[in-house]
Chains A and B, each alone.
Chain A
Amino acid sequence: MTAYTPMPRRAFLGALGAGATMLGLGACSSGSSGSGDPNAAQTIEWWHIANTPPMLPVWQQLADAYTAAHPNVKFNITPIENEAFKAKMTTETQSGHAPHLFHTWGGGVLKQQVDAGLVKDITGDVAGTVSGISPAAMDAYLIDGKTYALPNDIGMVGFWYNKALFSKAGISKPPATWAELLDDVRKLKGAGVVPIAIAGQAKWPEMYYWTYLAMRMVGTDGLKKAFTDKKFDSPELIQAGKHLKELADLQPFQNGFLAAPYDQPTGQAATMGNAQAAMELMGQWAPSVEKEQSGKGIGADLDFFPFPAVDGGKGKATDMMGGGGGFAVGKDAPPATVDFLKFLLQPENIKKGIATGAILPVVKGTDDAVSDADAKKVVAQVEKSTSFHLYPDQAWPPSVGQALNDSVSQLVAGAMTPEAVAKALTEAAQNA
């Protein structure tokens, strides 16, 4: 044991991951075309997140159809899986580039990209199309009153519940108020049923509870105002945290929930899909993930109810939190890009996507294309909605959104008080 290499080099390299990445970013770039002529030959770089069927072939088909009608326009499509897309977009945009047409969830991340001058203001170009889109769906893509992207999907978060387990506990109808929900949780526990499946490791599913409680306490506009005023320590918002603590104190979650991921075989969706818990608060994708993670899901036992009203709160049970997906146009996009985006949202085109069940309608007059029973339940609720809030971890800048997820997760675990959550959020917002 005499000849070996000491390894401070590893210490260097390891510690400098962030720095090195940053240098590497300069290398990637995407071509741009400066000419403004929509009839010139051009290639549109399109990044979307439908990397699997059913939507993958639909987008391809629509691109092919557009090329058939406009032979001068070609596509270079890059489908990327959800999480990989976020990472890749981060590096791409930090290097000062954006794809010509790219997926966005709107909100804070889109705003950062807009502030960095990477996204095209398409307000004037798409006014006609926007008038046909439901205002709730547009909400996430308007920044300072200007349009930077168009939605192709909208959904909402609500309680997915197992009717069989509810009736086993003697509950005949879904709760309409928070007090009733807490009562039902007690009944379910009494019947030996785990009331709620939750993903403590993922954190964002826990954040949904706080957000809805906050919206019910101060109303949708109240929550938006709390963010713009950078002030989350009003008594009403602290009360929202206290309500969540009431729920957590009943210990309604599955065993070991703090370590549970969302979409893994050991996670929240699988617990729900295996009928090991009575409900979960989740978005419109919940039924398909439950099936995927558990093998078959709970079929016709699955039903949907909106987050209940909270006594003494300003918000209504029809105020919804949700989100969907949209496409934004990069600053260097060739001139046909906006036209193609409008083409995608023409009712007869977007209906092809809706018919697969993977996206829900945003364009008026396309509801009849929804075929899936679970999707219809969500669409019915979305139509009744009186106001809309995008998932806060998307609506707000990542530093505030992640601080929210983190503090709520600690609140649920009993490691933070409602007051401390309010303080942490206020500080994060002031620092952003």
Chain B
Amino acid sequence: MTRSALEAETRAATARPPGVAGPSAAPKRSQRRSGRWTAVALFLLPALVLFTLLVLAPIVVAGYTSVFKWNGFGGLPTNFIGLDNFERMLKDKVFLGDLKNGLILIILSMVVQLPLALGIALLLNQRFRGRAVFRLLFFAPYVLSEVIAGVLFTMIFSGSRGLGGKIADFLGLGGAGLLGDPKIVLYTLFFVITWKYFGFHMILYLAGRQNIPNELIESAMIDGASPWQTFRHVTLPLLGPTIRISVFLSVIGTIQLFDMVWVFTKGGPIHASETMAVTMFDYGFRRAEVGYATAISVAMFVISFVFAIAYQRFVMRRDLEGAVTGMRDQR
């Protein structure tokens, strides 16, 4: 309790002769409450100042900049163009391509990457010799920085000289196309993303699986459930919260995907593997069209934000009880 709250308490106590109850009880409570709010405000102040400066203010500045045509030079933007930047975005083939690429990557993650991570997590939950080594191996790619992974795979998939290129050549797939063919490159990128991130989701699932008491599995077995039935009706439902958060992280991560793409393909060839963040960077830092780049960043923000809110509201509702939703129930 802070000093002002203490003082308020003392003042309230001295103003009232001991033993006298009644009307003065009400002011006491409200004074105490306001003292508590002061304390809360004081404790929150540093965090609030930082949050305002580093998060809220940039949002406002970005929103402001996004309605100007501005090359970034000469103080503040002056050429107000309303929503033209956003209109342009909706006609911009590259931006629409980004949306499509993002959607493909998200769907592939849901259909391939996460089930793969779940499968391996369940396998690695079995007792067998060298289990820890396998866990380490599968998790290792996640520890690498995105840039290092990107550089590594440009070499592996380079033309027909890298290892990946050679293997593809051997299989008759044409190694040079892995990065050089606009129709294929997105899937090559997805392969690398999966390699990099499935270990992270695997660890999430593994931790989730270990939280499920073995008694439940055992009793299902005793009741005569097949392994598939056990998985379908016991393990999977109990992994629900983990799966929901893993899907959430995966989608948000895909919307913001930048470093890996920038290092790995620069978004090319001909924008075939470009993401919104890459387009934003290209316009902001290479084309000096800061206004338009900011409009793209605002679009990214809105997409992430709407998705995050909707997902938490509707999908993760039960998991987040008391954190984001359901405040009312606690009062």
The answer to whether A2 and B308 have CB atoms under 8 Å apart is no
The reply on A27 being an interface residue by CB < 8 A is no
The answer to whether B286 and A258 have CB atoms under 8 Å apart is no
Given A6-B248, A259-B180, A403-B287, A116 contacting B293 (CB threshold 8 A):
no
Contact residues, B9-65 vs A (CB, 8 A): 53-55, 57-59, 61-62, 65
The reply on A145 being an interface residue by CB < 8 A is no
The answer to whether B176 and A256 have CB atoms under 8 Å apart is yes
A12 CB contacts on chain B under 8 angstroms: 55, 59, 301, 305
Minimal beta-carbon separation of B146 from chain A (angstroms): 13
Report the separation of the CA atoms of residues A420 and B139 in the bound assembly, to the nearest whole angstrom: 47
B289 CB contacts on chain A under 8 angstroms: 398-399
Contact residues, B84-136 vs A (CB, 8 A): none
SS class, residues of chain A in contact with chain B: helix
Given A94-B72, A259-B269, A8 contacting B158 (CB threshold 8 A):
no
B149 CB contacts on chain A under 8 angstroms: none
The reply on A96 being an interface residue by CB < 8 A is yes
Given A201-B265, A266-B154, A256 contacting B297 (CB threshold 8 A):
no
Minimal beta-carbon separation of A226 from chain B (angstroms): 19
B78 CB contacts on chain A under 8 angstroms: none
Report the separation of the CA atoms of residues A413 and B53 in the bound assembly, to the nearest whole angstrom: 45
- One digit per residue, 1 when the CB lies within 8 angstroms of any chain A CB and 0 when it does not, for chain B 258-298 equals 00000001101110000001001010111111100110011
The reply on B73 being an interface residue by CB < 8 A is yes
The reply on B147 being an interface residue by CB < 8 A is no
SS class, residues of chain B in contact with chain A: helix
The reply on B230 being an interface residue by CB < 8 A is no
A6 CB contacts on chain B under 8 angstroms: 245, 248, 308, 312, 316, 320, 323-324
- One digit per residue, 1 when the CB lies within 8 angstroms of any chain B CB and 0 when it does not, for chain A 130-146 equals 00000000000000000
A256 CB contacts on chain B under 8 angstroms: 158-160, 165, 175-177, 179-180
The reply on A22 being an interface residue by CB < 8 A is yes
Given A16-B55, A94-B72, A259-B179, A201 contacting B287 (CB threshold 8 A):
no
The reply on B232 being an interface residue by CB < 8 A is no
The reply on A10 being an interface residue by CB < 8 A is yes
Contact-size category for A = 35 or more
In the complex, what residue of chain A is closest to B252 when comparing beta carbons?
Answer: A11
- One digit per residue, 1 when the CB lies within 8 angstroms of any chain B CB and 0 when it does not, for chain A 4-33 equals 101111111111111110110000000000
The answer to whether B73 and A94 have CB atoms under 8 Å apart is yes
- One digit per residue, 1 when the CB lies within 8 angstroms of any chain A CB and 0 when it does not, for chain B 174-186 equals 0111011110010
The reply on B74 being an interface residue by CB < 8 A is yes
Given A6-B324, A10-B252, A16-B301, A115 contacting B179 (CB threshold 8 A):
no
Minimal beta-carbon separation of B215 from chain A (angstroms): 18
The answer to whether B59 and A16 have CB atoms under 8 Å apart is yes
Partner of A15, one of B54, B241, B304: B304
In the complex, what residue of chain A is closest to B320 when comparing beta carbons?
Answer: A6
Minimal beta-carbon separation of A407 from chain B (angstroms): 10
The answer to whether B297 and A17 have CB atoms under 8 Å apart is yes
The answer to whether B154 and A264 have CB atoms under 8 Å apart is yes
A259 CB contacts on chain B under 8 angstroms: 158-159, 176, 179-180, 185, 265, 268-269
B204 CB contacts on chain A under 8 angstroms: 1
Partner of B161, one of A20, A266, A415: A266
Given A259-B179, A266-B158, A18 contacting B284 (CB threshold 8 A):
yes
The answer to whether B270 and A13 have CB atoms under 8 Å apart is no
Report the separation of the CA atoms of residues A399 and B69 in the bound assembly, to the nearest whole angstrom: 12
The reply on B300 being an interface residue by CB < 8 A is yes
In the complex, what residue of chain B is closest to A3 when comparing beta carbons?
Answer: B323
The answer to whether A15 and B285 have CB atoms under 8 Å apart is no
Report the separation of the CA atoms of residues A20 and B57 in the bound assembly, to the nearest whole angstrom: 8
Minimal beta-carbon separation of B12 from chain A (angstroms): 38
The answer to whether A112 and B73 have CB atoms under 8 Å apart is yes
The answer to whether A11 and B301 have CB atoms under 8 Å apart is yes
Minimal beta-carbon separation of B89 from chain A (angstroms): 14
Given A13-B55, A201-B269, A1 contacting B242 (CB threshold 8 A):
yes
The answer to whether B268 and A18 have CB atoms under 8 Å apart is no
User: Most chain-B CB neighbours within 10 Å: which of A17, A18, A200, A258?
Assistant: A18
The reply on B141 being an interface residue by CB < 8 A is no
The reply on A255 being an interface residue by CB < 8 A is yes
Known: A15-B298, A397-B71, A399-B289. 12 other contacts (CB 8 A): A11-B255, A11-B256, A14-B256, A15-B256, A17-B280, A17-B297, A18-B284, A22-B61, A117-B74, A255-B180, A259-B159, A413-B270
Top 6 nearest A-B pairs (CB, nearest first) are: A256-B176, A19-B62, A258-B269, A256-B180, A15-B301, A259-B179
6 A-B pairs with C-beta separation under 8 A: A6-B320, A7-B252, A14-B277, A16-B58, A23-B57, A266-B159
